[in-house]
Amino acid sequence: MTIPAFGLGTFRLKGQTVIDSVRNGLDVGYRVIDTAQIYDNEAEVGQAIADSGVARDDLFITTKIWVANLSKDKLIPSLRESLRKLRTDRVDLTLIHWPSPNDAVSVAEFMSALAQAKLQGLTGAIGVSNFNIDLMQRAIDVVGADEIATNQVELHPYLQNRKLAAFAKDRGIHLTSYMTLAYGKVLGDPVVIDIARKHDATPAQVALAWAMQLGHAVIPSSTKRENLASNLLATSLRLSDDDMQRIAALDRGERLTDPDSLAPAWD
């Protein structure tokens, strides 16, 4: 399974807002859509896709299993419900959204159930999200590294997650960067702005191109059609080695997503 480098995120978008975002995204050329059970927008995403007229086989759809549905008796039924909402018979990628708090459901149990979902044809690939190195190793021990298509994690110029990235790369596991723009904070960074000016690009395009050039996938979201179209141009932006080194120097371990009830012990 090759994870597409660029997709459309839908975190925090609901109702007509997410319908419009997905519709506009598909219209300007996006073909990868990322959602999750906890986003409470799968039905709206499904509606937007159905109304778009884009063929299902031309799309790559990702959803994520919420922690309340990780047990072996709930995971597959919850995924079937996600498929119903998304109006499709399968998704292309299904992730464990967060590890089970306090190991209430073991990694072995939910990864085995996720693998079973793949065997049943409900998802083309499986993976994880917000997993640290220890949890990734435990998942590998259950299904094998070849079965884990990606680990979706917070990763941006201020949190570059190099230790985790090195572990994943060594085992052939792809990383997907979420919050690549750090809630917009990097858009005002003088270094990023300077690099953008040099390339006649936007700061958002620079940050997205940086992550993709490191080999990560990105899934930025936007409610504005012009920003969706602009972000997509990051796929054709090539940064110099000097640009990459300057952005590398921005790392300060600044984590923006760290929910007490869900987060593992980060590396």
- Token couple for 92: 């292309």
Tell me which residue of 34, 38, 112 sits closest to 78, measured CA to CA: 38
Out of 39, 158, 178, 183, which one is annotated catalytic?
39
**CB-CB neighbours of 159 under 10 Å:** 21
Cross-strand pairs, 178: 154
Give just the sign of the alpha carbon dihedral 152, 154, 157, 160.
Answer: negative
Is 39 tagged catalytic? Answer: yes
Q: How far apart are CA 76 and CA 218, in angstroms?
A: 27
Tell me which residue of 139, 211, 198 sits closest to 173, measured CA to CA: 139
Catalytic residues: 39
